[in-house]
Structure 1
Amino acid sequence: MPAYPVLVQPSGLRFDAETGTPLLLAAQTAGIKLPSSCRNGTCRACMCLMLEGSVVYGIEWPGLSRDEKEEGWILPCVAQAVSPLEIQAPHAAPIDTTPAPVRPLTGARR
């Protein structure tokens, strides 16, 4: 399957999105966290601005208005790349893989 490069601004993070794979899933596979919640295009928590490129949607009409789509807003949880992309996602960050510190058990809390 072809994959398209995705540049995330302003962080400069990059990942490849395979054809047919939602951008959110491709980012997570590459170790990049994008905001998300419902993962089905209705809550809009992942909404970000597409600066360059093209996407298609895995559902008929995601939770965006016609005006928002025309302005370049996308929902990465259901958007799939069909070209190289540049997106603006201010809260994107590398996924922290550091294990949480172990805390000793101290008994019941009151």
Structure 2
Amino acid sequence: MSKSFPVLLQPSGMRFDAPAGTSVLLAAQAAGIKLPSSCRNGTCRACMCLMLDGSVVYGIEWPGLSRDEKEDGWILPCVAQPASALEIQVPLAVPLEPAAPAPRPLTGARR
């Protein structure tokens, strides 16, 4: 069974669980939370946010963050995988909008 870690988003207070080996961005989406993102491969920095507590791992050395930024706690949720419980600052996190229902064809006689 895969281990998962709790993630707390600030300042919204939204929470979700992120499975080990899954990016924070994908885990948030699976929990119905939209985080800022664009390229999803660690280069555009649209998702960059500050990790207040916890630790993450990356599969490769991502070019989107400098050594100083990493040391200051900045992470790229699109490619960061949780290695512990996380608290991250994501001011633009919002609940995903529910999908609009598919239009139903009109049936029956019109009056």
Q: Same fold (TM over 0.5)?
A: yes
Distance of 2:40 and 2:5 partners within structure 1: 21
Residue matched to 2:12: 11
Counting matched residue pairs gives: 102
Residue matched to 2:74: 73
- Residue identity opposite 1:13 in structure 2: M
Q: 1:34·1:46 contact (CA, 8 Å) conserved in 2?
A: yes
Is 1:60 equivalent to 2:56 in the alignment? Answer: no
Is 1:49 equivalent to 2:40 in the alignment? Answer: no
Sequence identity (%): 74
Q: 1:3·1:17 contact (CA, 8 Å) conserved in 2?
A: yes
Q: Who wins on radius of gyration, i.e. which is larger?
A: 2
Mark the runs of 5 or more structure 1 residues left unpaired by the alignment: 103-110
Residue matched to 2:109: none
Mark the runs of 5 or more structure 2 residues left unpaired by the alignment: 104-111
Alpha-carbon offset, residue 59 of structure 1: 2.4
Question: Displaced runs of 4+ in structure 1, greater than 3 A?
Answer: none
Report the RMSD for the aligned CA atoms in angstroms. Answer: 1.5
Distance of 1:23 and 1:68 partners within structure 2: 18
